[in-house]
Amino acid sequence: MDLILFAAIALAAPSLGLPFFQLSRTRGTLPGYLLVLALAAAVVLVGLNTVSPQPASDFGDLLSSDSLGGLFGIVTLSVTLVVAVVSLPTMVRRANGPLYCSLLGFAALGMLFLSYAADLLVLFVAWELMSLPTYALAGFDKQRDESNEASAKYAVLGALSSAIILYAISLSYGLAGSTLIVNVVKAMGGQSSSPITLAAVLLFIVGFGFKMSIVPFHMWVPDTYEGAPITISTLFAAATKKAGFVAAIRVVLAASTLYVVTQSPIFTVANILAVLALATMTLGNVAALTQKSMTRLLAYSSIAQAGYILIGFVIFAYAQGDRSFSQEATLGMTGALFQVINHSIMASAAFVAVALVLTALNRADVSVFQGLARRAPVTAFTLAVSMLALAGVPPLNGFWSKLLLFLSVVNGPYAWLAVAGVLNSVFSLGYYLWVVKRMYLDDPVSTERIGEPLVYVIVFAILVALMIGLGLFPQFGVAFSQGAVPSIYPH
């Protein structure tokens, strides 16, 4: 039984049908509930396929039904489910609510196929299926100039990244005569010193780098996160960004298993990724410290977290040329995948907490969070836990994934990355604790209570339980992440 096919049908059917609710005057929140039901079904199906993998026979060699796809499928669809749930009291009730739900469903479908893609053309089609709806979703608040600007900037740069990826695919096809990733990787390994191979790998890094929001391809993130509806910013930070990472793993890291390298021992995939990791984590944290808007602060924090994830990529790519580092490579990618899981939880909690405040007060500048613990205690507690987890404070979940990442490089040629990571984590406490201090120690700007709808409280409870639970019992997350590492190697 092809569970991936059933998950795709579960998402495609409502995504195609929900726009017809625009014709009804009494639709209410029914489209939102149908989308929630479809996403929940898809998460269950992907989860079952991950526990007991079934070959995606109906798709032939186009999809790879493996643990890596299962991990990213669960992460991206679960985040989309959270976004759909918290959108029920607000976005779904709007006049264009059915279209909003349909676009979310198509984005989720694109992320599902992207998680399992084993062919470059499937990967590109899935990339576009994920990206095109999000361009519209970013500008869904049409009355706000910031939302229109966010959508335009995101669409232009997103189209540029898609064009770069398509050009890289064309070069790869020229090398391999095939678009299957396994054949492309073998061709790259056989022509590792070819300028075309180098160009293809670099173009893939640049193209995927836009979606992963790594420096210097991050320029769209702060403005888009601030201008888009806050629920959609949650989707960007915790889901579509992760889809960018799985695409990079499928192509760039798979290529590095045959050690794609130029004639120069300095200009390697590992060294390129190391420089990007350092720049990304450092710029993200430094910029976040100066922000007055919570959405921009979280946007730059999200950029910094991408830099930490890249550390695992670095040691994995390096180990392909020096097999004595194979254990460190496994440890590093385990940490990277665990950080992907953790960040999706932490970012979802933080953005949803900010969404509640923004919806209630129509403001998201840091000053309105003063004394939040007295006005919205559940929201303040959730935001505080997520901030501490993002900073890597033990015993929360963010600590363990960062620890694995830093340990993976501490004894090799990239030990300086571990030092940079630790310093950046300490530096990030400056703005994370600053927000916590404002919520709990500063006097509130108003004594009026902020309503906390039940749907938000339930989501907060689940996300806080995951952050604390994976912090106290990290072995479950580590085992799940480690089980996905062998899927990186092309078969």
- 111 pLDDT more than 90: yes
- 263 pLDDT more than 80: no
The answer to whether residues 305 and 397 touch, using CB atoms and an 8 Å cutoff, is no
pTM reported for the whole predicted model:
0.93
Tell me which DSSP letter residue 442 carries.
S
Residue 192: φ, ψ to 5°: -65, -25
Task: Please report the pLDDT score of residue 490 as a whole number.
Answer: 63
Q: Mean pLDDT, to the nearest integer, of 250-261?
A: 69
Task: Report d(CA 297, CA 200) in Å as an integer.
Answer: 34
Task: Report d(CA 457, CA 437) in Å as an integer.
Answer: 22
- 262 pLDDT more than 80: no
* Token digits of residue 269: 């995939």
pLDDT band (50, 70, 90) for residue 368: confident
Across-strand partners of 347? Answer: none
At 453-481, the pLDDT tens digits run: 999 999 999 999 999 999 999 999 999 99
Task: Please report the pLDDT score of residue 24 as a whole number.
Answer: 74
At 200-244, the pLDDT tens digits run: 888 998 899 888 889 888 888 888 888 888 899 999 989 998 988
Q: Mean pLDDT, to the nearest integer, of 406-434?
A: 92
Count Cβ atoms below 10 Å from residue 479 Cβ, excluding itself.
Answer: 11
- 256 pLDDT more than 80: no
- Of 121 and 362, the structure prediction assigns the larger pLDDT to 121
For residue 486, say if its preceding peptide bond is cis, omega within 30 degrees of 0.
no
- Locate all alpha helices (DSSP H) within 442-473, ordered by sequence: 454-472
Task: Please report the pLDDT score of residue 272 as a whole number.
Answer: 86
Task: Please report the pLDDT score of residue 467 as a whole number.
Answer: 96
Tell me which DSSP letter residue 240 carries.
I
Q: Mean pLDDT, to the nearest integer, of 394-402?
A: 92
- 344 pLDDT more than 60: yes
Task: Please report the pLDDT score of residue 259 as a whole number.
Answer: 53
Task: Please report the pLDDT score of residue 37 as a whole number.
Answer: 95
Residue 447: φ, ψ to 5°: -95, 0
Task: Please report the pLDDT score of residue 152 as a whole number.
Answer: 87
The answer to whether residues 249 and 314 touch, using CB atoms and an 8 Å cutoff, is no
At 306-323, the pLDDT tens digits run: 999 999 999 998 888 777
- Of 487 and 13, the structure prediction assigns the larger pLDDT to 13
Task: Report d(CA 445, CA 368) in Å as an integer.
Answer: 7
- 343 pLDDT more than 90: yes
